[in-house]
Amino acid sequence: MKKTFFPLVVFLFFIHTFYINAQSIKLGVRGGLNIANLSFDPEVSTVLPGMANSNRILFLAGGIFQLDLAGPVSFVVEPTYIQKGVNVEGNNISFDISGQQIQLNNLKISYKLEYLEIPILLRVNIPLPMVKPYAEVGPTIGLNLSSSYTMELNYAGQSMSEDFDNKNNTSSTEFGLAFGAGVEYSINPLVSFVFDGRYSLGLSDLSKDQTTADQQQVQNPKIKSSGIQFTLGVLFGL
């Protein structure tokens, strides 16, 4: 409880400090795409030779709370629903189970994780008359909403597909870092459009070790997320 309470108090303190020093306040919405990937340690290819990761193009949408401070600096908080994941796939995958050689064709495992994620960004603007380019950086915190994967394969001439719930093996929170750049285009003093591109890097392990019925610890592979995100949004001045 203390580990969660202390960062919340610090966060609210900074929000209050920035709020009382804000030159303007803007609220908005945004949506876009997340070109998502997951990294595994050990790598999947070391466990199942022939398997490789590929990006998944997934969805994100959320709100924008922006405080424009004195000078070229803005403070931005973006509560966001975001999908993360990866495709792991390969062909002619062979492995041994209890001395029996198993051959799988066209094996594909599609991971999908859903989060309520909150980027907390410090933004430096280049103030121009109508177009305001900016660079941004800051931490992110995500609360896991769901975790699942779909396995598709061909075995002995039969195509198979099945969905699995993976939430019990997934950590409830994720901490990361986001940095990028964008442009805010004002169409009038109270309304502006925002185009943003950023890279998101997960810093914490998404997997959770399991305890068996006989109290033995089972260590799952370490998993971290990454993504390249492109969003379009609209801001309304208050």
Per residue in 199-219, pLDDT tens?
999 999 999 876 655 656 667
3-state class (DSSP) for residue 215: coil
Of 91-105, 141-155, 221-235, where does mean pLDDT reach its minimum? 91-105
3-state class (DSSP) for residue 90: strand
For the chain, the structural domain boundaries read 21-204
Of 5-19, 33-47, 71-85, where does mean pLDDT reach its minimum? 5-19
At 14 the pLDDT is: 58
Of 11-20, 103-112, 178-187, where does mean pLDDT reach its minimum? 11-20
> What percentage of the chain reaches a pLDDT higher than 90?
58
Mean pLDDT of 175-180: 97
Mean pLDDT of 71-93: 91
Mean pLDDT of 224-238: 96
CATH top-level class of 21-204: mainly beta
At 112 the pLDDT is: 97
Helix (H) or strand (E) holding 7: helix 2-20
- The closest of 83, 86, 92 to 62, measured between CA atoms, is 83
Cα–Cα distance, 209 to 206 (Å, whole number): 10
At 2 the pLDDT is: 46
At 93 the pLDDT is: 75
